[in-house]
Homo-oligomer: A and B are copies of this chain.
């Protein structure tokens, strides 16, 4: 079996021990940069990301994994109990999570379950985000409105994807910066404005109202559902 990818490097001793005892091959990496170099011949079989220490960096790492040429899955996240609330709105970043400190048997059970389900091929449906006339194809990074493809840059796409994945919800600029851009941001909340404006322009006059301004709060995609 191909090795598991562990983040960070060095892996926590308990984790390393559990994996070793369970007979799993694994390799730890310290950051995104060393990902490619560390990748084994046959690729990774899955990943475990420990988020207890530095959640932001861990989430960023997950994001990189998910956006790779071959999205890495299954992805198991290790979080402390106090950080459970941080999982919200980040469900797309991982397949399962486990509380840290963990019970070795629980971790093993989750790994087995994940691999089993991955083998069932449940994940081979085309991943689409749809809302009204808008369609985002997550596999091909293409977007279309009313059947017509529109050309989005990377950031535009990511922003639209996030918004369209949570229709009706209002997000502050700060939230968008941290969830879409992925790092704590210093300065320029206006960056969001500009991207919103370009999105509206590319959506076309007819669909520009898909993104609404909520004054003094932020932006909202689509209509609320009552």
Contacts and interface: CB of A to CB of B under 8 A. Distances in A.
A140 B169 contact: yes
Interface string A156-168: 0000000001111
Interface in A97-117: 97, 99, 103, 105-106, 108-109, 112-113, 116-117
Nearest to A215: B154
A166 B124 CA distance: 10
A33 to B, nearest CB: 29
A97 B109 contact: yes
What is the copy number of this chain in the assembly?
2
B103 A147 contact: no
Given A106-B99, A168-B140, A88 B124 contact: yes
Interface string A138-178: 01111010010100011000000000011111100000000
A114 to B, nearest CB: 9
A53 interface: no
A216 B109 contact: no
A216 B165 CA distance: 21
Interface in A198-226: 214-217, 220, 224-226
Contact of A109 (B84, B95, B215): B84
B112 A88 contact: yes
A153 B213 CA distance: 12
A137 interface: yes
A40 interface: no
A12 interface: no
A69 interface: no
Closest 3 CB pairs of A and B: A91-B116, A154-B216, A140-B224
